[in-house]
Chains A and B, each alone.
Chain A
């Protein structure tokens, strides 16, 4: 597989009037990877994504997709599928007509019924889009994005409004596309989805890239946390305390297993009960909260 980046973004800036939505953003997406662009509300994720898709013109900086400008629709769009954040389908067309129209306009070949079936809408194929539920519209959106198995797929909040079964089905379909070599760019508010699926993650806050890397690389930057409430008569703790309140103690560590073992041994030796003991690795949520604060 080629190692030439599928997407290259260099010093991207986006302004809406006086509002600077994205500042000096640089990143690249490699072939076959699932890259998640995450951020707080108003961080500039969708603006960035829409610029990479070719929907917006950068105020400054360069964006290249497959080595070309994403605004060259004829050259780039047949190779990419786009799942927009908002529906954007005509309520007076049926599911099959919508997939046929939008899929056909991508200039990729596929069987409309196969794609409708892939997203589980075969029983609604003849239904007008205006009569679909929110979740069904998201699935229709996904269908047009994956029509013809594009090399690059943009998924903007793909699972919002979907029930658990539909989410699993969607991710199964994404997995199959990735097995076929498709590259995926994802934005989502469900951090656990990004944590489970993304090869690399870019974290945005207020239009700026704060961190980028694999989940392990991102979570490694923050300590893991152990919390417990020792009995009042307990001797001095074997680990430095990061915070204490109402008898509860919070210990932060970059060596979770070693320090937890030390703590449990100490409790055993001194017959100290550690009530409400909780220990876990750093999660993406923690990295997110650290950025926000």
Chain B
């Protein structure tokens, strides 16, 4: 698994297109949110900005990157090649998604630290870490599921749009309007509960037990996505 992860990291840094679209753009967008945080805070709260940063990196830096990587590795038969070795399927997938996941976590950590220094410390850092980890797990699960219906890297530009734009839209909806109305709907949508968790972690004012409940819908999406991927994921191009 580690050998695959290492080779994947090498490939990411050798491919300028991947490097720019998956890593430079999310950081640039996040930097813009941090720079203009006072404007966005008027719209909602600092917690909302943190949630938007989390989903920008999660959607474009992590989710899109993993879907594109898996589609590309399948298309050029690299997945089949890896399966001709003694490595397990789980080990192969873990090796392929780990570099993008680690890079996304490093990006998020760095950006949120900078945001905390600029806008003020979050209310509950451990809860914030939990919100980030849960969101990353959900985005990885959704990426595996989407990769199952993505034939090529070019196709990924289309198949990743609904989830990428969807989670950012849900995050903005929940972040700006709160969950006083349509609470259940907002929490059940992908990214809704995670956004609320982030709002609670950054802004505070909500009992910890009420916040931890929000992990349920987020992890439920992980389970749904992984079971979908389990049925839909293909290791070779369609014949």
Q: Report A's interface with B, CB cutoff 8 A.
A: 16, 53, 55, 73-74, 77-78, 82, 84, 86-93, 97, 101-102, 104-107, 128, 144
Contacts and interface: CB of A to CB of B under 8 A. Distances in A.
A16 B239 contact: yes
Contact of B81 (A16, A77, A102): A102
Interface centre among B14, B81, B83, B87 (most CB of A within 10 A): B81
Contact of A90 (B7, B83, B85): B7
Interface stretch (B72-80, B125-133, B208-216): B72-80
A93 B10 contact: yes
A88 B78 contact: yes
B163 interface: no
Interface residues of B, number: 22
A93 B7 contact: yes
A84 B73 CA distance: 15
Nearest to B235: A55
Contacts, number: 69
Interface centre among B73, B87, B88 (most CB of A within 10 A): B87
A50 B44 CA distance: 57
A87 B81 CA distance: 8
B138 to A, nearest CB: 28
Contact of B77 (A77, A88, A93, A128): A88
Interface centre among A16, A74, A88, A93 (most CB of B within 10 A): A88
Contacts of A104: 3
A78 B77 contact: no
Contacts of A84: 77, 80-81, 84
Interface in B40-87: 73, 76-78, 80-87
Nearest to B15: A92
A82 B80 CA distance: 11
Given A89-B81, A93-B11, A73 B4 contact: no
B7 A74 contact: no
Given A101-B4, A102-B81, 19 more contacts: A73-B85, A73-B86, A77-B86, A82-B84, A84-B77, A84-B81, A86-B77, A87-B76, A88-B78, A89-B81, A91-B76, A92-B15, A101-B7, A102-B84, A102-B85, A104-B3, A105-B87, A106-B86, A128-B14
Contacts of B84: 53, 55, 77, 82, 84, 102
A74 B88 contact: yes
Contact of A105 (B4, B80, B239): B4
Contacts of B3: 101, 104-105
Contacts of A107: 85-86
Interface string B1-41: 00110010011001100000000000000000000000000
